[in-house]
Amino acid sequence: MANYVFSYDLHGQRPTHAEMDEHIRASGWANGRLLESVWYIGTDQDAQTIFAYLQRITSANDRLMVALCEQLTFVNLLVTGESLSEAWTNNR
């Protein structure tokens, strides 16, 4: 398993942030919102597969990035530190 961080900027009427949230949660991957449009994903999939899944819902005007991450240091995220630390450790 691997840990990824991805971020997006939506620049159209669709998808809405709620639709994007639902799409992310429907992936079946371990996930959590870290900041407004920055998420954590834990999965055995590669970055290209994650990107393709996320890109299915976005428009040509939206921005999207996926990064494989080795280490994470954080403060004041939107998820609890304990839940993120546990997910991060379980997906290494």
Mean pLDDT by 10 residues, the chain (92 residues): 92 90 94 89 95 94 92 72 66 62
- The DSSP result for 21-55, as a single string, is HHHHHTT-SEEEEEETTEEEEEESS-HHHHHHHHH
Q: Which of 62, 65, 64, 87 minimizes the C-alpha distance to 74?
A: 87
pLDDT at 80: 65
Please report the pLDDT score of residue 71 as a whole number.
Answer: 78
Give the β-pairing of 2-9 and 30-35.
unpaired
Q: Are 61 and 14 in contact (CB under 8 A)?
A: no
Q: How many domains does the chain have?
A: 1
Domain that holds residue 56: 2-90
The CATH number of residue 26's host domain is 3.30.70.240
